Chains A and B, each alone.
Chain A
Amino acid sequence: MRMNTSDEALAIAAANGDRDAFAALLSRQYDRLFAFAFRLTGTRHDAEDLTQDICAALPGKLRNFRADARFTTWLYRVAVNAAHDRRRRAATHARAADGWGDWEVNRQASNQEAATQLDWLTKAMSTLPDDLRDTVALTLGEELTQSETAQVLGLSEGTIAWRMAQVKDHLRALHQKEEQA
C-alpha cells in the first residue's frame, strides 16, 4: 500500500506515531539489515539476534532520524552501534565467542564450496580488529563509498582510507601465511 513511499517519508511518519508506516518500513528493510548484521557478526545466530536487537530498539531511536539524512545511512549507523553494544556485552559476560571468531559453527555449513569460501572469509575477518571489520562490512559488503562509510561511522574520509589500507595489510599478511602453509 505504501510501495511508492520513500524510506525517509515512512521513517518520518513512523517517528510521528504512524503504525503502518513503521511496519512497512521495517518489512522493507529487514532483509538488508539481516545481511548487514551477518557481515558484521559472521554467524546466522548472532546476525538474527543483532537484527532483532536493532528492530526492537528502532521505535525508540526513530525520533533521532532527521529528514535530511538518508534512511539507509542512518540505519547502518544504528546497526553498527548496536553491534558495538553487543560486543561490549559479550565481553562483560566473558563470552568470548564473538561471531567471526566462532569457527566451528561455520565449518559445519553443508555446502562444501560455500563452506570453503565462508571458511576463508571467517579466517580473514577474524584477523581484523572490530573497527576494521565494521569498515569492511560497509565498504566491501554493502558497497558504500568511503564518503558514505565515513558518514555512517561518524569519521572522516581520511580515516576510512587509512583503515582500508590497514585491512589490506592484514589481508596480505594472511595471504602470505596461506602461501607458506
Chain B
Amino acid sequence: MNDEFDSLKAALKAAPPAPDADAKARALRIAQENFDQHQETRAAARQTDKRPTLGARLSEGVDWMFKTLTTRAALAATTGIATVAVAFFVIAPQLDPTGVPTQTDASKTKAPATVIADDLGALVRSDRAAPETALRKIAPAPQATAPEVLMMEPEAAFGGQMSPAVDDYAVMPPQGGTEAFANGEPNPLKITSQEPVSTFSIDVDTASYAIIRSSLNNGQLPPPDAVRVEEMVNYFPYAYPAPEGDAPFQPTVSVIPTPWNDDTQLVHIAIQGALPETTERPPLNLVFLIDTSGSMNSQNKLPLLKQSFRLMLSKLRPEDEVAIVTYAGSAGQVLAPTPASDRNTILAALSQLDAGGSTAGQAGLQQAYATAETMTKEGEVTRVLLATDGDFNVGLSDPKALETFISGKRDQGTYLSVLGFGRGNLDDATMQALAQNGNGQAAYIDTLNEAQKVLVDQLSGALFPIANDVKIQVEFNPAAVAEYRLIGYETRALNREDFNNDKVDAGEIGAGHNVTALYEVTPVGSPAVLNDPLRYSAEQTTAQTDELGFLRLRYKSPGDADSQLIETPIATMVTEASNDTRFATAIAGFGQLLRDQKYLRDWTIDQAIDLANSAKGADPYGYRAEAVNLMRLYQSLSAE
C-alpha cells in the first residue's frame, strides 16, 4: 500500500540537483552581509532615545520654502521649456515644539573603544569588484533586541533620534559592511609654472558630511574615502552676495589668510544662486521610487521616510501630483499619480508600504520614469526621487546602462535625486554616480535634522535648477602664485579642454544654492614654497603681479544647449575674511584633518574648533553649532 509513497519518496530523494557553486557563494555572501548589517542595526538602535527639539526649526523651514518658491511664471521661465524636476522630502513625526536643536556636550560622550577600533577597518573595505553583485542585495527585516553588553551615554548627540526608546541593546560593532565610497586621491600641490590651469565641476551634494556625522555620532572615525571636503563645506548655507538682475548666480572671489599656514593664502570662490522670490510656483510632479527591501525596515530608514512624506503632504498644493513606485518585495506602482488634495488615498498607500522580502528585480526605475512622463505637462516640474539604503537593483543591472538610462531621461527633462538611508550597505559611489547623471543631488539622511535640511533644500534648490553644467576654471598667474592646491573636488575634476566643451556634463546649481571652492595658494617668494625652482626653466613672466589669477565660469541656462561664459580676474589683495568665509575654511580644515593632514602642518582640531566657533554667526538653523559638536567628537575620538 506504500507503493505510491515509495516511488514519490525515491523521486523526491533523487530530485534535488547538486547546488550551484555560484548560487551558493552568493547566498552565503548575502547572508554574511546581512548578518553584519544586522549587528549594525542592533548597535545603532540602542544608541539613544533622546531627540533634539527641532519642531520650530522644521516648521519654519517648511513654511519658508513653500513661501519662497512660488511664482509660476518666474520659475517656469527659469526652468526652461518643459519639465524639470522635483523631489521632496520631509520629516518629523513627533516634534517637540520648544524649538532650538539640543546642544549636546560632546565631551560627555563616551564611545566604546571596541567600536572604534574594530570598525574602522571594516568600513573602509569596499566591495566594488563585482558590479553585478553590488547592485543586488537581499536583506532581512531586522528587529532589535539583545542582551546588554555596553552602553553609550545617551547624549550621543544627533545620531539615532529615530531609534526606539529601548535601553538594553548590545553594542555590536558593525563588521565588514558593504559600503562603497566614491573618492579620488587628495588633490596634490600643483606648480603654477608647470600647470597653471585648474578645471573642475561644481558640486552641490552634501552626502559626505552626513555620512561623516553618522560615523562620528556612532563613535567611529569616518573612513577617509567617505570624506569629500567640498561636500562638507557646501553642506552649510552661507550668505554670499546675491546676483543682481537676470543673472542666475553671482561669483565672489576673495583672497584670505590661510588658518593653518601663515605663509600661504586661500582663494575663496563663492557662488550664490538666485532665489526667485515669487508668489506662485509651478505644479510639482513627484515620483517617489522607494526601496522596500527587507533591510529598509530599520527605524532610521523606511519609517523615517514615511513620516517625512506624511508631513510633507500637508504642505503640497492641490494642483501638485504625487505617485509612489516601489522596488524589491512589493514591486510596482503602489500609488498612481494622485492630486495632493486627495490626502486620504495618498496616506493609505503610504501606510501600506512595507519593508520586506527580497529584491524582485522589477523595472522599478523604468516604471518610475514612465509614471513621471505621464504626469508631466507644460510648465510643470517633475523629478524622480530614489530613496534607498544601498540596494540599487532597480531593474537595470549594468551600472553603465543605468547611468546612460538616467542621463537620457535627464536630457528629456526628468531629473533624478538620490536619498541614502542607514549605514552598513550604503553604496555611496553608486548614489553619486546616479545623482550626477540625473542632474540631481545625492543626500544622505541619517537623522531628523538632515531630513529637514534636505527637505528645505530639495524644495528650494534642487527642485528648481537655475544653471546647468556649471564648470569652474582658474588660471593662476605664475608671477604671483608659485604653487596652488584645490581643496576637495577630487571626484569633480575636469580636463582643461572640457571647460569649453558643452558636451561634457557638470554640476547644477539650484535656486538659492551656495557653492564654495577653496584653493590654497603659495605666493612667489613665500617661505612656504615646497618645490625649488628649476635651474633650467624658462624665465618667469613678471608682468601683472596685481592679478593672482583669472576665474572663468561656464554654465548653461536650463533648457539651453550652449553655455555662457563669466570671467573675472582675481586680485592679489588679501582681504579680511567674513564669518561665512572663515567658517568655510574651518570646515575645509576639519575635512582635511579627517582625510589627509599633509598640508595642515601643526594645525589641529583644537584650532579648527576655535575658528569654527568664532565664525558661527547667526546660525539660525543650528547647523554650525552641530558641526562644532562633531569636531569635538572627533577631538575626543582622536585623543584616545
Interface residues of A (CB under 8 A from B): 14, 16-17, 19, 22-23, 26-27, 30-31, 34-36, 38-39, 42, 44, 47-49, 51-53, 55-61, 63, 85, 89, 92-93, 114, 117-118, 120-121, 124, 136-137, 140-141, 143, 164, 167-168, 171-172, 175
* Shortest beta-carbon distance from B264 to chain A in Å: 47
Write the chain A residue with the least CB distance to B137. Answer: A56
Mind listing 11 A-B residue pairs with CB under 8 Å? A14-B35, A30-B24, A36-B16, A39-B15, A56-B139, A59-B140, A89-B360, A137-B12, A167-B8, A168-B1, A168-B5
Contact among B12, B143, B146, B360 for A136, CB-based, below 8 A: B12
Kindly state the separation between the CA atoms of A14 and B38 in the bound complex, as whole angstroms: 11
A167 CA / B12 CA spacing, docked (Å): 14
Beyond A38-B16, A164-B5, 4 extra complex contacts between A and B, CB < 8 Å = A39-B12, A61-B140, A140-B13, A143-B9
Q: Which residue of the partner chain A has the closest CB to B22?
A: A48
Docked CA distance A19–B27 (Å): 16
Q: Smallest distance from the beta carbon of B168 to chain A beta carbons, Å?
A: 14
CA distance A180 to B139 in the complex (A): 49
Q: Confirm or deny: B358 has a beta carbon within 8 angstroms of a beta carbon on chain A.
A: yes
Interchain CB contact (< 8 A) of A60 among B27, B143, B172, B330: B143
Q: A140-B8, A171-B4, A175-B4 are in contact. Are A52 and B16 (CB under 8 A)?
A: no
Q: Using Cβ atoms and an 8 Å threshold, which residues of chain A touch B4?
A: 168, 171-172, 175
B493 → chain A closest CB, angstroms: 38
Distance between A46 CB and nearest chain B CB, rounded to angstroms: 12
Query: Contact flags (1/0) for B26-47 with A, using CB distance below 8 Å?
Result: 1110111011111100000000
Q: Kindly state whether residue B112 has any CB partner on chain A within 8 Å.
A: no
Q: Kindly state the separation between the CA atoms of A63 and B28 in the bound complex, as whole angstroms.
A: 19
Among candidates B8, B27, B36, B331, residue contacting A52 with C-beta atoms closer than 8 Å: B27
- A100–B485 Cα distance when bound, in Å, is 65
Q: Do A30 and B16 contact each other (CB < 8 Å), given the known contacts A124-B11, A136-B8?
A: no
The 8 Å CB contact of B358, one of A56, A120, A164, is: A56
- Across the interface, name the chain A residue whose C-beta is closest to B138: A56
Which of B19, B23, B360 gathers the greatest number of chain A CB atoms within 10 Å? Answer: B19
Query: Which chain A residue lies CB-closest to B139?
Result: A56
Q: Decide if B28 touches A23 in the complex (CB within 8 Å).
A: yes
Q: Does B30 contact A55, Cβ atoms closer than 8 Å? A: yes
Contacts of A58 in B (CB 8 A): 31, 34-35, 140
- Asked whether, in the complex, the Cβ of A55 is within 8 Å of the Cβ of B20, the reply is no
| Residue B170 is within 8 A (CB to CB) of chain A in the complex | yes
Question: In the complex, what residues of A have CB within 8 A of residue B14's CB?
Answer: 114, 117
Interfacial chain B residues near A27, Cβ < 8 Å: 28
Q: Is the CB of B35 within 8 A of A19?
A: yes
A19 B175 Cβ-Cβ under 8 A: yes
Nearest Cβ on chain B to A97's Cβ, whole angstroms: 14
A30 touching B358 by the CB < 8 A rule? no
| Given known A19-B36, A59-B142, A60-B141, contact A52–B26 (CB-CB < 8 A) | yes
Alpha-carbon distance between A148 and B259 when the two chains are bound, in angstroms: 73
Tell me which residues across on chain A come within 8 A of B30, comparing CB atoms: 52, 55-56
Q: Is B329 an interface residue (CB 8 A)?
A: yes
Nearest opposing residue in chain A for B149, CB measure: A17
| Residue contact A60 to B34, C-beta cutoff 8 Å | yes
Contact B27 A30 (CB under 8 A): yes
Partner of B145, one of A63, A92, A118, A124: A63
CA distance A140 to B2 in the complex (A): 12
Given contacts A17-B170, A141-B13, A171-B4, contact A30 B35 (CB under 8 A): no
Assess whether B16 is in contact with A53, with CB atoms less than 8 Å apart.
no
Contact between chains at A17 and B16 (CB < 8 Å): no
Shortest Cβ gap from B302 to chain A (Å): 15
Residue of B nearest to A34 (CB): B19
Minimum C-beta distance from A162 to chain B (A): 15
Contact among B5, B28, B329, B331 with A30 in the assembled complex (CB-CB below 8 Å)? B28
User: Which chain A residues lie closer than 8 Å to B175 at the CB level?
Assistant: 19
Chain A residues whose C-beta falls within 8 Å of the C-beta of B24 in the assembled complex: 30-31, 34
Neighbouring B residues of A53 by C-beta, 8 Å? 138, 357-358
B142 engages A52 (CB within 8 Å): no
- What residue of chain B has the Cβ atom nearest to residue A31's Cβ? B19
**Complex Cα spacing A141 to B11, Å:** 8
Q: Is the pair A60, B142 in contact by a Cβ cutoff of 8 Å? A: yes
Q: Name the distance in Å between A30's Cβ and chain B's nearest Cβ.
A: 5
Enumerate the 5 nearest inter-chain pairs by beta-carbon distance, A residue then B residue, closest first.
A60-B140, A171-B4, A55-B31, A38-B16, A56-B138
**When the two chains form their complex, are residues A60 and B28 in contact, meaning their CB atoms are under 8 A apart?**
no
* A118: contacting residue among B15, B23, B176, CB under 8 A: B15
Q: Which residue of A lies closest to B171 (CB)?
A: A17
Residue interface bits B308-335, CB-to-A below 8 A is 1, else 0: 0000000000000000000001110000
User: Is A44 in contact with B27, judged by CB distance below 8 angstroms?
Assistant: no
B101 interface residue, CB < 8 Å from A?
Answer: no
Q: Are B32 and A140 in contact (CB under 8 A)?
A: no
B591 interfacial contact with A, CB 8 Å: no
* Residue of B13, B16, B26 ringed by the most chain A CB atoms within 10 A: B16
Q: Which residues 202-250 of B have a CB within 8 angstroms of A?
A: none
Closest to B35 in A: A59
What's the least CB distance linking A170 to chain B, in Å? 9
Q: Which residues of A contact B141 (CB under 8 A)?
A: 57, 60
Give A53 to B358 CA distance when docked, in angstroms. 6
Q: How far is the CA of A25 from the CA of B170 in the complex (A)?
A: 22
Is B620's beta carbon under 8 Å from chain A?
no
Taking the complex as formed, is B17 at the interface, i.e. its CB lies under 8 A from any CB of chain A? yes
B294 within 8 A of A: yes
Nearest CB of chain B from residue A153's CB, rounded to whole Å? 17
Chain A residues whose C-beta falls within 8 Å of the C-beta of B23 in the assembled complex: 48, 51-52
- CB neighbours (8 Å) of A124 from chain B are 8, 11
Which residues of A sit under 8 angstroms from B10, Cβ to Cβ? 117
Q: How far is the CB of A16 from chain B (nearest CB, A)?
A: 8
Select A140's contact among B9, B37, B176, beta carbons within 8 Å.
Answer: B9
